[in-house]
Amino acid sequence: MATQAISEQLTGPKSAVVIDWYEEGEVVHVMPRDQARFDVHKDRAITVLQLAANAESQLKLLLKRLATWVRDNAAVIDTAYVTLRDAKFAFLVISKMAECNDDLEDSISELDFDVANDPDLDVVRMNALILPPASREALSSFFDDRLLLVYHGQGT
């Protein structure tokens, strides 16, 4: 029992995967659920895991920023969506009125520019688009079934 406790202190719990940054030539053996096993060099696995953690935190930051924008523009927008389009996130804003609103257009252009040039969102790729009021069926061609988040006003 003492040997197991010492072993866990050195390597972590049995469910953890320990990758030694300094171990030269180490290979990570990956066994996904579909059993299509493959090997990845340790340095590449560490880089990918760091990028994934960074991307997750950037996504949270992006969603908060979009929620703030929705809240700030709630008087002129009906709904806003985050979906996928052309291998990027798409922020689709449905205006309350069919007529062009120059202030809303300027605001979304500024948001789009700020997100594209924010060093804290360097992994995120997003396009923003304003659409006139339309039925859910008409809007469905803009939505990707793999991801569809809806902002319902007040930034929620």
Instruction: Read off the CATH number of the domain in which 82 is found.
Output: 3.30.300
Is residue 12 situated within a structural domain? no
> What pLDDT, in 10s, does the model give residues 128-138?
999 999 998 99
pLDDT by residue (tens digit) across 18-34? 666 666 667 776 777 77
Residue 115 has a pLDDT of 95
Dihedral angle, C-alpha 142, 148, 153, 154, nearest 10 °? -140
> 3-class DSSP state for residue 28?
strand
- Model pLDDT, residue 22: 64
Q: What's the mean pLDDT in 72-98?
A: 93
16 pLDDT more than 70: no
pLDDT given at position 20: 63
Nearest CA to 62 out of 107, 1, 127, 142 is that of 127
Taking the model in full, what pTM does it have? 0.68
Average pLDDT, the chain: 81
Which of the four pLDDT bands, split at 50, 70 and 90, describes residue 6? Answer: very low
Domain count, the chain: 1
Residue 14, in any domain of the structure? no
28 within domain boundaries: no
Sheet holding 88-95, edge to edge: 126-131, 88-95, 77-85, 148-151
Q: Which residues contact 126 (CB under 8 A, 6 or more apart)?
A: 62, 88, 89, 90, 91, 112, 115, 116
Residue 42 or 63, more confident: 63
In a domain, 83, yes or no: yes
Residues paired with 129 in a beta bridge? 92
Q: How many Cβ atoms sit within 10 Å of the Cβ of residue 68?
A: 12
Structural domain boundaries enclosing 75: 61-151
